[in-house]
């Protein structure tokens, strides 16, 4: 996403900070941040959602894996494979834990990590398959390293990725241009 924004506005520099939703909301309200990208934001009159995208979970595999050619899959159809599972504080860890518990089957776990980069790396090294959102592996999909196969289990609800601002804040011209570009990119997710 940021590569696209930089392509259109190469002379604008931006500061990226990774913090949790509560701190993002506080930074927006206090004026420390122009806009924030939040996962499943809580509704608030102090927060305006300018764009959002629904993020479904799926199985992540190397492109040569037997599951890679599937258009969709249920969790129970993946239990023959070893898993690299996400852990807290990753938001995806809770629904994955629920899937494991609901399945009632033993899951072959080769690794557990609280870092998406580590999970992607271990999957690329063919240590196992993972469960992430498509957005987590966009670069690897583009480069042909990994494939994303949507999970169709009915108990899974998509995450909402939201581009948020404080409605009370007047943005600078540069921030407004970047926000508009990000809104366009969100519509393509």
Instruction: Tell me how long the chain is.
Output: 189
pLDDT, tens digit, 9 for 90 and up, residues 36-63: 999 999 888 999 999 999 999 999 999 9
Q: What is the pLDDT of residue 1?
A: 65
pLDDT tens, 109-129?
Answer: 999 999 999 999 999 999 999
Cis peptide before 89 (omega within 30 of 0): yes
24: left (phi over 0), alpha (psi -120 to 50) or beta: alpha
Mean pLDDT of 12-30: 88
Strand arrangement, sheet containing 129-133: 109-113, 83-86, 129-133, 57-62, 146-150
Could you give the domains of the chain?
2-54+159-187 (3.40.190.10), 57-150 (3.40.190.10)
Global pTM reads 0.83
Q: Which residues contact 55 (CB under 8 A, 6 or more apart)?
A: 133, 134, 135, 158, 159, 160, 161, 189
Q: Which residue has the tokens 């089957």?
A: 105
Q: What's the gap between Cα 163 and its chain centre?
A: 13
């Amino acid at each position: 996403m940021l590569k696209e924004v930089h392509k259109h506005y190469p002379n604008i520099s931006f500061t990226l900070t990774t913090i949790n939703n509560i701190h993002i909301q506080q930074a927006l309200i206090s004026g420390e941040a122009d806009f924030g990208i939040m996962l499943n934001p809580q509704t608030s009159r102090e927060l305006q959602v300018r764009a959002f995208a629904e993020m479904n979970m799926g199985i992540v595999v190397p492109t040569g894996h037997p599951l890679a050619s599937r258009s969709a899959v249920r969790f129970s159809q993946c239990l023959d494979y070893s898993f690299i599972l996400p852990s807290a504080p990753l938001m995806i860890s809770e629904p994955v834990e629920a899937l494991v518990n609901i399945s009632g089957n033993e899951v072959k776990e080769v690794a557990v990590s609280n870092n998406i980069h580590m999970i992607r790396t271990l999957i690329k090294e063919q240590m196992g398959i993972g469960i992430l959102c498509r957005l987590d592996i966009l670069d690897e999909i583009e480069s042909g390293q990994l494939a994303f196969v949507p999970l169709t289990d009915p108990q899974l609800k998509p995450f909402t990725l939201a581009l948020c601002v404080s409605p009370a804040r007047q943005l600078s011209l540069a921030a407004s241009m970047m926000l508009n570009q990000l809104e366009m990119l969100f519509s393509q997710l």
